[in-house]
Amino acid sequence: MKRREFIALLGGAAMWPVPARAQQVAKLPTIGFLGGATPSLWSAWVSAFLQRLRELGWVEGRNVAIEYRWAEGRNERYTEIATEFVRLKVDLIVTAGASVVAAKQATSVIPIVFAVAADPLGTGLVASLARPGGNITGLSNQAADLAAKRLELLREVVPGLRRVAIMANVDYPAVVLEMREVETAAGTLGLDSVGIEIRRGEDIAPVFGALKERTDALYVCADPLVVTHQVRINAFALAAKLPTMHSLREHIETGGLISYGPNFPDLFRRTADYVDKILRGTKPADLPVEQPTKFDLVINLTTAKALGLTFPPMLLARADEVIE
């Protein structure tokens, strides 16, 4: 190439429009983050995820991009968001709970990591826990497995406990599974149970009208709908003088009585390890589904006082956190 032509070429490059020049920069690997509730309700979980990513060398905006989308507890949003991520050609999808199924249905190619899934094997998310197969892997929260333990704890707290109501979003298959486990565990413990089915936020208020006359306590099965409306559920339960059992410590911070379950910030932190491995080339099919290793027992003494309940000293001593 002649010197004059070469100089002209350089000058022409300087005149490229900004978008054209931007296309020359390598695209950052992009994570599509599908949150089932709202940013404020998931803030502690997202913070744990991002902190671990940074420890592993991934800094948002520097060498990885994250597209956040929030379903706000509305089931119909899961498919919309998952489809959008496929259209955006994200490199990986991170999600949890009810939205995992929608993500799997949307793509069999883009890797999917679930931070939380109830019985991923039983619900067909993976072929096996050791060898998930396909494009999806992550962490189980063992929701159904802990049903009996939660009822035993509730019986320690509520004198003369005879009948338990079970609130569940029956549009979420994993929650239906947990509801059945609670019913089975209740029968084994000599307790009666009654199922309270909800599907939308509008269903919550009406169910509390008759609950006081029918039950001694309320077991709340967690899903994004319940997480989104946790403050209302706890307020209605307190007004009805109903002790509540939850799986998430966050529900105790908003007025629930007692919770026992996996530590969700820890699950989201461990999710970052999956993301790191996949972004560096490991296939989801080769990453085993892992179980929770940290479980929290959280008690709200302010709520107990309002309900006229006293926690046994031994149970208080076992608690990981006591809110006063």
Q: Residue 19: is its pLDDT beyond 60?
A: no
Per-residue pLDDT at 27 = 87
Confidence category of residue 292, pLDDT binned at 50, 70, 90 = very high
Per-residue pLDDT at 5 = 46
Per-residue pLDDT at 144 = 61
How far is the C-alpha of 262 from the C-alpha of 264, rounded, in Å? 6
Q: Residue 15: is its pLDDT beyond 50?
A: no
User: What does the pLDDT average to over 8-36?
Assistant: 62
How far is the C-alpha of 274 from the C-alpha of 57, rounded, in Å? 13
pLDDT in tens, 246-258: 999 999 999 999 9
Torsion from C-alpha of 49, 53, 58, 61, nearest 10 degrees:
20
Per-residue pLDDT at 183 = 95
Confidence category of residue 307, pLDDT binned at 50, 70, 90 = very high
List residues bridging with 218 in a β-sheet.
165, 244
Query: End-to-end alpha-carbon separation of the chain, Å?
Result: 79
Q: Is the dihedral of CA 296, 297, 302, 306 positive or negative?
A: positive
Q: Which residues have CB under 8 Å from 36's CB, separation 6+?
A: 42, 71, 73, 78, 95, 96, 97, 98, 99, 223, 224, 227
pLDDT in tens, 119-170: 888 778 899 999 998 999 999 986 666 889 999 999 999 989 999 999 999 9
Q: Residue 3: is its pLDDT beyond 70?
A: no
Q: pTM score, two decimals?
A: 0.82
Per-residue pLDDT at 20 = 42
- Supply 139's token pair: 């962490």
Q: Residue 52: is its pLDDT beyond 90?
A: yes
Transcribe 6-28 into DSSP letters.
HHHHHHHHHTS-HHHHHTTSPPP
- Supply 175's token pair: 């929650």
Contact (CB, 8 A) for 291 and 266 = no
Contact (CB, 8 A) for 147 and 220 = no
Average pLDDT over all residues of the chain: 89
How far is the C-alpha of 291 from the C-alpha of 6, rounded, in Å? 61
- Measured N-to-C along each axis, helices 75-88 and 99-106 cross at an angle, to the nearest 10 degrees, of 40
For the chain, give the number of residues. 324
pLDDT in tens, 178-222: 899 999 999 999 999 999 999 999 999 998 876 767 799 999 998
Which domains can be identified in the chain, with CATH numbers? Answer: 10-141+264-294 (3.40.50.2300), 144-262+296-323 (3.40.50.2300)
Q: Residue 1: is its pLDDT beyond 50?
A: no
Return the number of other C-beta atoms located less than 10 Å from residue 65's C-beta. Answer: 15
Per-residue pLDDT at 53 = 98
pLDDT in tens, 226-273: 988 999 999 999 999 999 999 999 999 999 999 999 999 999 999 999
pLDDT in tens, 57-108: 999 999 999 999 999 988 889 999 999 999 999 999 999 987 898 999 999 9
140/23: higher pLDDT: 140
Per-residue pLDDT at 118 = 79
Q: Where are the alpha helices (DSSP H) in 23-172?
A: 43-55, 75-88, 99-106, 147-157
Strands (DSSP E) found in the chain: 30-35, 65-70, 92-95, 112-117, 136-140, 163-169, 192-198, 217-220, 244-246, 258-262, 295-300, 321-323
Nearest CA among 230, 270, 279, 282 for reference residue 51: 270
Nearest CA among 254, 292, 249 for reference residue 270: 292
